[in-house]
């Protein structure tokens, strides 16, 4: 039996779950999510908990996955998910204009990034971006796409980085001054 798949998912108060054959709809204070469930994985609601079970061993690989996806949906509609990004570099900044984020990242033009539906972006001090939303995958993908606009430079460490991300700093050119003499 899968250790993750066996764990029950606690349902906080205010969360409504609708179970169908191929999907689960989770509705809470932060929004509504639709999670497709692989075939032959069944969810039952008992005593304020959701329990995932599989019909046979061929569904073993998907048992823990299905439980984790539904647990993330329950957490997303109650608490939500958040990723923070830092913008490092002279003149690098961001601002929200309507449904787009405008980045100044050292290019000859400002970079316009459209904000998808279900995602909120807040900017503090023009160099700290906070991406929040109910869908864990979408929050991570949006923050990865923002980081991809100007990934951190390995030499000067300038660019957009996710807070807590470890960067490898490379040494610059060694011995360049000696060869010129």
Question: Which residues are CB-neighbours of 154 under 8 A, at least 6 positions away?
Answer: 167, 168, 169, 170
128 neighbors 113 (Cβ within 8 angstroms):
no
pTM, two decimals, is 0.82
Ramachandran quadrant class, 35 (left: phi over 0; alpha: psi -120 to 50; beta: rest):
beta
164 neighbors 94 (Cβ within 8 angstroms):
no
Q: In tens digits, what is the pLDDT along the chain, a chain of 181 residues?
A: 468 878 888 888 888 888 888 889 988 888 888 989 887 888 888 888 888 888 888 888 888 888 899 999 999 999 889 999 999 888 889 999 989 999 998 889 999 999 998 899 999 888 899 999 988 999 999 999 998 988 888 888 888 888 887 778 888 887 655 555 5
pLDDT at 177 (0 to 100): 56
Candidate CATH numbers 2.20.25.240, 3.40.640.10, 3.90.930.12, 3.40.50.1980; the one for domain 3-78: 3.90.930.12
Spatial separation of the C-alpha atoms in residues 177 and 181, rounded to whole Å: 7
63 neighbors 2 (Cβ within 8 angstroms):
yes
Total residues belonging to the chain: 181
The topology (CATH level 3) of 81-162 is Outer Surface Protein A; domain 3 (3.90.930)
Q: What number of CA atoms fall less than 13 Å from residue 121's CA on the CB side?
A: 27
Token pair for 74? 């329950």
Q: What are the extents of the domains in the chain?
A: 3-78, 81-162
DSSP character for 59? Answer: G
Ramachandran quadrant class, 127 (left: phi over 0; alpha: psi -120 to 50; beta: rest):
alpha
CA separation, residue 110 to residues 90, 105, 150, 171 (Å): 15, 7, 12, 30
Check for a shared fold between 3-78 and 81-162.
Answer: yes
67 neighbors 60 (Cβ within 8 angstroms):
no
């Amino acid at each position: 039996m899968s250790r993750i798949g066996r764990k029950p998912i606690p349902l906080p108060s205010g969360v409504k779950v609708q179970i169908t054959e191929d999907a689960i709809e989770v509705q809470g204070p932060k929004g509504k999510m639709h999670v497709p469930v692989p075939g032959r994985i069944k969810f039952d609601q008992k005593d304020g908990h959701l329990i995932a079970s599989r019909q046979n061993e061929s569904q073993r690989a998907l048992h823990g996955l299905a439980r984790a996806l539904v647990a993330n949906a329950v957490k997303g509609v109650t608490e939500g998910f958040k990723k923070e990004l830092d913008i490092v570099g002279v003149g690098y900044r961001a601002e929200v204009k309507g449904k787009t984020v405008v980045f100044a990242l050292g290019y000859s033009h400002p970079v316009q990034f459209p904000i998808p539906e279900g995602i909120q972006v807040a900017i503090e001090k023009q160099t700290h971006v906070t991406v929040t939303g109910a869908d864990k995958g979408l929050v991570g993908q949006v923050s990865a796409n923002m980081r991809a606009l100007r990934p951190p430079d390995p030499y000067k460490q300038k660019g957009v980085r996710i807070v807590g991300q470890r960067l490898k700093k490379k040494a610059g050119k060694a011995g360049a001054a000696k060869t010129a003499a």
